[in-house]
A and B are shown apart, each in its own frame.
Chain A
Amino acid sequence: MTNPKPKSIIPNRLISWLDVLAITAWGILLLRYWLTGKLNLLIHPNYFGLVIVTGIILIFVGCLKAQELWRRRQRDIVPNTQHISLFAPGWGSCLLLTAAILGFIITPQVFASDKALQRGVTTDLLGTSRIKPQAFRATVRPEERSLVDWVRTLNVYPEPDSYTGQKVKVQGFVIHPPDLGKKYLFLARFVLSCCAADAYPVGLPVKLEKNQDRYSPDTWLEVEGQMITEEVGGKRQLTIAANSLKKIPQPQNPYSY
């Protein structure tokens, strides 16, 4: 134990440096997402603080270890050979490092209509069962409700007729579900309750005056109009009758919470 074979020292030291590299890389990656504003594509803003502090601690821990390794470079390093276990030495840090490097190279992207369709957005408002009325405010004027507010309101009181004639002004991106007729498009937003892994699309169908092909999928629109009840996809459903559709740039933070 006290006299480890010289040739075993080099790989062990390498593994220690690999640990330092992997942990520091993750710290930098987390802070980078925060500083470049990409963090809101990945997680709910409630957890930004946690992620930032984690990034700082990881860098700190990495630096502490690096300093120690550097100071001890003249002496033998006796690694914890009894420490286990699941992976061969070096594998764990290699995986961590690889994931961090991929994180640096590939930019996370905003989910779009393909993801929404894959998640199963249809006219039956899939996902509404998860929308609790936590942000529901009875006093909100109809035209001030966001798309998510509308879906939440509808979830609390699902009779479409009771909203008929109310004014609407909402923003979202365009989806063309296959079962929706040519006269309609589906306006959706992704809702994030924790992280991108649980992002789910919600939205409402929009009845167009003209053919929907004018708006390709993923176009962001601001739709103004009023609520009507329509038979969409074989189901009576609250629908926006659009008076005006305005193309808008993708919002800084495309998700709702």
Chain B
Amino acid sequence: MNQLNNGFTIFLSLLVEAMPFLLLGVLFSSVLLLFVDERKLVERMPRNPLLGALVGSMIGFVFPVCECGNVPVARRLLMQGVPTPVAIGFLLAAPTINPIVIWATWSAFRDQPEIVVLRVVFSLSIATILGFVFSSQKDLSPIVQPAIARYLKFNPPAKPASKKRGNRYQIEQQATAPSLLQSGTYILGGKAGFSTRIETNLIEANTPNSSTRKPLADKLRLLVDNSIQELRELGAVMIIGSAIAAAIQVLAPRDLILSLGAGPISSIVTMLILAVVVSICSTVDSFFALSFASTFSTGSLLAFLVFGPMIDIKSVGLMLSIFKPRTIFYLFVIAAQLTFLFTLFINLHVL
């Protein structure tokens, strides 16, 4: 009984600590959804693969979305003709390279600031490397879902040479198109009968345009609606994650945790698996990792914090709306290997 109450106290403390950061992330992305004109950003993306991957990885700092919000955004980025390295860099890094997540990580690991710094550095490096690797794939059709490939085929992105005309075309076409930033929303449009017109109609019904014409009251209502939707979705994932963390703390035999957590390789592997299984949102995952801080090696905590936001069960589900399973498998394997190598280096040489 006592143990149950201990477990419940841990569960509650995780939730109470994480709730402000979750709310902040949700409010921030909802505000951006209404007030940021992302199309200007799309136009300015560099075409150089490496630079593009790096810039893409850092857009997250301007668009603080977690891993549920970044998938729809990355999808639209791709469909609007942003170079692949930019989109992939954004997809993988945005959940970590954003001010709210960095703040949350710092709150959790105040006494280990190296974790905060290395989390950013590793995520940025891995996302940039992966973005760069995928830049060699010029034709997107083998890697993306047929629906997106078809869309890109019939709506080729504007070439830099005909940029002016292309821009006007795009702007005309997008006059009724939805905002890019739909964090937390996922539009089901990948079926065979997919067409942009249908999708536009679908989204129009519920998505605020980034136009400033709407009265403030309407904007506020949309902001509240979007926040509630995200709170409901992400809050539920957070509750499941916290429950898993609390259960492991209370139920897992201490000897097992100690033996797994102390080994330089076993600790990383354990945390990588945990990152995939737990699927906890990046704004709050540092608090989850914190509950392993006294028993697990620093490298393994980093592995959890770097790999979790990139790929987990939940985001794989969402990523299937963009990529073919084979692409996700490659992303998964390369990201896991890079994370493993980086964090193993930390375990063996630094701390």
Contacts and interface: CB of A to CB of B under 8 A. Distances in A.
Interface string B1-25: 0110110111011111101100100
A99 to B, nearest CB: 5
A138 interface: no
A32 to B, nearest CB: 11
Interface residues of A, number: 62
Interface in A103-142: 103, 106, 108-109, 111-112, 114-115, 118-120, 126-127, 130, 132, 134
B111 to A, nearest CB: 5
The list of the 10 closest CB pairs from A to B, nearest first, reads A196-B13, A92-B236, A92-B232, A197-B291, A195-B17, A50-B20, A42-B13, A84-B186, A195-B13, A54-B20
Interface string B289-318: 011011000000000000000000010011
B12 A42 contact: yes
A85 B237 CA distance: 12
A17 to B, nearest CB: 11
Nearest to B26: A61
B43 interface: no
Given A20-B228, A57-B23, A119-B294, 6 more contacts: A51-B19, A80-B185, A83-B206, A86-B237, A99-B15, A103-B15
Contacts of A95: 235-236, 239-240
A103 B16 CA distance: 10
Interface string A77-101: 0101011111100011101100100
Contacts of A185: none
A120 B232 contact: no
A26 interface: yes
Contact of A54 (B5, B23, B202, B317): B23
Interface in B196-230: 202-203, 205-206, 220-221, 224-225, 227-229
A43 B18 CA distance: 10
Contacts of B318: 85
A39 B206 contact: no
25 contacts: A30-B19, A33-B16, A42-B17, A43-B17, A46-B107, A58-B19, A61-B231, A64-B224, A65-B228, A78-B205, A83-B229, A93-B232, A96-B239, A106-B5, A108-B8, A115-B6, A119-B254, A119-B294, A127-B294, A132-B111, A194-B108, A196-B13, A197-B10, A197-B13, A197-B291
Interface residues of B, number: 60
Given A195-B287, A197-B245, A197-B291, A47 B232 contact: no
A87 B240 CA distance: 12
B259 to A, nearest CB: 12
A96 B232 CA distance: 7
Interface string A29-69: 01001000001011100110011011001100100110010
B168 interface: no
Given A26-B19, A42-B9, A83-B185, A194 B290 contact: yes
Q: Is the interface of B mostly helix, strand, loop or mixed?
A: helix
B183 to A, nearest CB: 11
A42 B290 contact: no
Contact of A197 (B14, B27, B187, B227): B14
A74 B12 CA distance: 39
Contacts of B20: 47, 50-51, 53-54
A30 B23 CA distance: 13
A198 B228 contact: no
A19 B111 contact: no
Given A30-B16, A43-B17, A114-B3, A196 B10 contact: yes
A84 B12 CA distance: 27
B17 A82 contact: no
Contacts of B291: 197-198
Nearest to B112: A130
**Residue from A54, A84, A91 having most chain B Cβ neighbours under 10 A:** A84
A92 B235 contact: yes
Contacts of A198: 108, 290-291, 293-294
B121 interface: no
B23 A111 contact: no
A46 B236 CA distance: 26
Given A54-B19, A115-B6, A200-B294, A82 B13 contact: no
Nearest to A108: B9
